């Protein structure tokens, strides 16, 4: 693999149309996303691309490869570290095993509300977690919303923690989530997102856990009819850039990228809220059984061993304390 040749795929530099105010793309950054076109994360990176193009006078373009065209998240993360993929919009989850700081916002019930999460991510804790990516050949650019994740399954309505006993759920590829499911008395199978639908359909697993838009857009709601809103996780999405690709840019272009990424977050949040409502409506209209009346207290209490196991390093302990201190 020739590193760096695929990123910055020098776009065919045909002579700019006479009279055109904008130059042709000199630099094309390839961006990965597991979700389909139109999903709030994909739309946000497209919006960032528009801003970058405009602010660079047409020199820098972003091409979003949606629907996992460049691969599943764990693999695309490695390719981004190697500079084969320039930008990557991923859940924090698949970073947990390589970047310890990402475990903190991935802890169950760490955020009290969407508002609390936004305040944390928009403040210095959010900035410190993004900065941690730089030790891993990546540049953390910004956060996007991902709502809260709850369990869904094909077998039965789960109305209390006891109902989870012995059931098998897919989780993202992170040890933290394996331990989280075990602490609830169920079994976890880490696997790529793209394998979940058929694994539920064929009974390899009983279900998975995700937010409304993913439950809907992935079609998982078609094969897992019971959705229990225990809201155990609020794992933010993150947009990262390959450090290799970033370092090739001039300081001025780096500033354009950083600012455009930040500016895409409010757009994402607005689209997210609308999509959450639309996805819920679609799933309810399909006749799925939604369990909203659930006592979360036992779920929260059951998570203590997960905190005990993962929050041992003083640096992570301090991040947890700082998050809890945000009003």
Binding site for ligand BDP (CB under 6 A): 34, 73, 90-91, 146, 172, 193, 210-211, 214, 237
Q: Strand pairing partners for 290?
A: 227
Alpha-carbon distance 147 to 215, whole Å?
A: 12
Q: In angstroms, what is the minimal distance from the CB of 33 to ligand BDP? A: 8
Q: In angstroms, what is the minimal distance from the CB of 27 to ligand BDP? A: 26
Three-class DSSP category at 237: strand
Q: In angstroms, what is the minimal distance from the CB of 131 to ligand BDP? A: 21
DSSP state of 214: H
C-beta of residue 30 within 8 angstroms of C-beta of residue 65: yes
Closest to ligand BDP by CB, 104 or 146: 146
Closest to ligand BDP by CB, 7 or 34: 34
Q: In angstroms, what is the minimal distance from the CB of 211 to ligand BDP? A: 5
Q: 203 — phi, psi (to 5°)?
A: 80, 10
C-beta of residue 184 within 8 angstroms of C-beta of residue 164: yes
Q: Tokens 């508002």 sit at which residue?
A: 115
Q: In angstroms, what is the minimal distance from the CB of 214 to ligand BDP? A: 4
Closest to ligand BDP by CB, 49 or 147: 147
Closest to ligand BDP by CB, 197 or 307: 197
Contacts of 10 (CB under 8 A, 6+ apart): 26, 27, 28
Q: In angstroms, what is the minimal distance from the CB of 277 to ligand BDP? A: 16
Closest to ligand BDP by CB, 208 or 320: 208
Closest to ligand BDP by CB, 187 or 318: 187
Q: In angstroms, what is the minimal distance from the CB of 289 to ligand BDP? A: 21
CB atoms near residue 107 (< 10 Å): 24
Closest to ligand BDP by CB, 155 or 217: 217
Q: State the alpha helices, DSSP H only, in 56-150.
A: 73-81, 114-122, 124-132
CB atoms near residue 278 (< 10 Å): 13
b or e along 151-190 (b: 16 or more beta carbons within 10 Å of the residue's beta carbon)? bbbbeeebeebebbeebbbbbbbbebbbbbbebbebbbbb
């Amino acid at each position: 693999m020739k590193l760096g040749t695929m990123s910055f795929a020098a776009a065919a530099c045909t002579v700019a149309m006479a009279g055109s105010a904008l130059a042709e793309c000199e630099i094309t950054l390839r961006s990965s996303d597991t979700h389909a076109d139109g999903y709030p994360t994909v739309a946000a990176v497209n919006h960032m691309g528009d801003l970058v193009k405009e602010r660079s006078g047409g020199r820098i373009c972003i091409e979003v490869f949606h629907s996992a065209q460049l691969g599943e998240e764990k693999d695309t993360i490695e390719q981004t570290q190697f500079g084969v993929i320039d930008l990557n919009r991923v859940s924090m989850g698949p970073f947990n095993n390589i970047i310890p700081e990402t475990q903190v916002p991935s802890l169950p019930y760490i955020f009290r509300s969407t508002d609390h999460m936004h305040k944390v991510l928009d403040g210095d804790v959010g900035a410190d977690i993004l900065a941690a990516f730089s030790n891993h050949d990546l540049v953390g650019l910004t956060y996007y919303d991902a709502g809260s994740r709850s369990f869904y399954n094909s077998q039965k309505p789960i109305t209390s923690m006891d109902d989870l006993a012995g059931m098998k759920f897919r989780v993202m590829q992170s040890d933290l989530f394996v331990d989280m499911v075990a602490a609830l008395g169920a079994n976890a199978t880490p696997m790529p997102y793209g394998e979940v639908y058929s694994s539920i359909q064929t009974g390899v697993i009983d279900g998975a856990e995700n937010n409304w838009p993913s439950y809907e857009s992935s079609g998982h709601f078609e094969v897992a009819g019971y959705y229990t809103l225990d809201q155990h996780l609020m794992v933010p999405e993150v947009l990262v850039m390959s450090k290799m690709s970033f370092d090739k840019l001039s300081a001025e272009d780096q500033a354009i990228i950083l600012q455009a990424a930040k500016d895409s977050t409010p757009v994402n949040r607005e689209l997210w809220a609308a999509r959450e409502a639309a996805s819920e409506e679609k799933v309810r209209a399909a006749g799925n059984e939604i369990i909203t009346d659930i006592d979360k207290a036992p779920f929260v209490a059951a998570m203590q061993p997960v905190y005990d196991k993962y929050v041992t390093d003083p640096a992570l302990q301090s991040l947890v304390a700082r998050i809890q201190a945000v009003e």
